[in-house]
Structure 1
Amino acid sequence: MSAPITTPEPELLRADHAPALLAFEEANRAYFAASVPDRGDAYFRDFDTRHRALLAEQATGACFFHVLVDDDGAILGRVNLVDVADGSAELGYRVAEKAAGQGLATRAVRQIRDLARTAYGLTELRAATTLDNPGSRAVLTRVGFVPTGDVRLDGRPGTSYVLTL
């Protein structure tokens, strides 16, 4: 078993993160697709254009995209706040397979929860995950999210959550 991975501080997504972010997504594509819908070939083919669009969207304050970068410059995870409006945002996150099961997601989501309240002035976070993703459900529960109902995510049964900040 490898040594536990420490949680790097979340960094707002920047243009220079593009190569490491693409490597992260490519290396973990099959791993992510086992629990969340695959991003599709177009995501990888058009990555540079998409990355620039995310940065432009972030500049408007409608979204806050965060990456967790290790000491070697590799991305271990990402935690995003999207659809920011009226004091609320949707939380989404993913962690590299090599970092899974070591508490990285829980610590990172807690860090973003705190940033959402203090730096971004949000009062509520929403999230959703599929029923067949127990790790994600556990992270949300540990951080204080409470289930609010049943949802379908790309045709799969899931649960929606909310957290009042």
Structure 2
Amino acid sequence: MIDDSHPVADGMTLRPATLGDVGSLAASLTRSRAYMRPWEPVRPEEFYTPQGQIQRLTGLLADRDGGRAMPWVLADGEDRAVGSFTLANIVLGPFRSAGLGYWVDVDQAGRGLATAAVGRICELARDGLGLHRVEAGTLVDNAASQRVLAKCGFEQFGTAPRYLHINGEWRDHRLFQRILHDGPPR
């Protein structure tokens, strides 16, 4: 179930990321660079290249193989990656939690795709990984991402001052969580 493709909306599919996605991820990130700049860390130029994406995905796939992460891409009708969604820092045992990060190509923004994909990921986290909780953070002024999380049942549980170094400075974040179930750990 976790390693399968899942229809999301408008011909888009959420599927596990592979090294075959590096070209389309690099193209999408390059196209979306200015759009995402206010919400992202400062990245080296190589990040926006296929080689940079090979490095990023190789690390994520190693974390997946170690049970620490689950990276997906949002793929269009031609199976090109036009977004990325990652459950990271997966902790099992009595905690059963992970952190969620995501972005969607500038050309796909505003279509409800992030909301549909985040909703699907929460289902997969609950049913496929047995997680109890998923958390996410947004910059305090990232209203669009906060709307995505609210539509998917996330609730704000705190604010973290100077939480991440984003766009060249330490920025405050709102912290959100979604409780997926209250059953015992499995």
Deviation at 1:17, TM superposition (A): 1.3
Q: Which runs of 5+ in 1 are unaligned?
A: none
Confirm whether residue 81 of structure 1 aligns to residue 87 of structure 2.
Answer: yes
CA distance in 1, matches of 2:11, 2:114: 9
CA distance in 2, matches of 1:69, 1:32: 19
Query: Which 10-residue stretch deviates more, 30-39 or 115-124?
Result: 30-39
CA distance in 2, matches of 1:149, 1:88: 17
Query: Which 10-residue stretch deviates more, 80-89 or 9-18?
Result: 9-18
Deviation at 1:71, TM superposition (A): 1.2
Which deviations, in whole Å up to 9, do the C-alpha atoms of 1:126-154 show, x marking residues without a partner? 11000121100111111011101111332
Counterpart residue number, 1:10: 14
CA distance in 2, matches of 1:126, 1:90: 5
Query: Which 10-residue stretch deviates more, 37-46 or 77-86?
Result: 37-46
- Equivalence map 1:37-76=2 (5 Å): 37-44=41-48, 46-47=51-52, 48-76=54-82
CA distance in 2, matches of 1:7, 1:145: 25
CA distance in 2, matches of 1:7, 1:118: 23
Confirm whether residue 136 of structure 1 aligns to residue 151 of structure 2.
Answer: no
Deviation at 1:83, TM superposition (A): 0.2
Which residue of 25, 33, 38 corresponds with 1:34? 38
Runs of 4+ with >6 A deviation: none
TM-score (norm 1): 0.90
Compared CA separation, residues 136 and 20, structure 1 to 2 (3 A): same
Confirm whether residue 119 of structure 1 aligns to residue 128 of structure 2.
Answer: yes
Which residue of 107, 110, 118 corresponds with 2:119? 110
Q: Which runs of 5+ in 2 are unaligned?
A: 1-8, 181-186
CA distance in 1, matches of 2:38, 2:176: 21
CA distance in 1, matches of 2:62, 2:39: 28
Contact 1:11/1:68, CA 8 A, preserved across alignment? yes
TM-score (norm 2): 0.80
Which residue of 22, 25, 42 corresponds with 2:26? 22
> Identity percentage over the alignment?
32
Tell me how many residue pairs correspond in the alignment.
Answer: 161
Compared CA separation, residues 10 and 129, structure 1 to 2 (3 A): same
CA distance in 1, matches of 2:42, 2:104: 15
Amino acid at match of 1:132: D
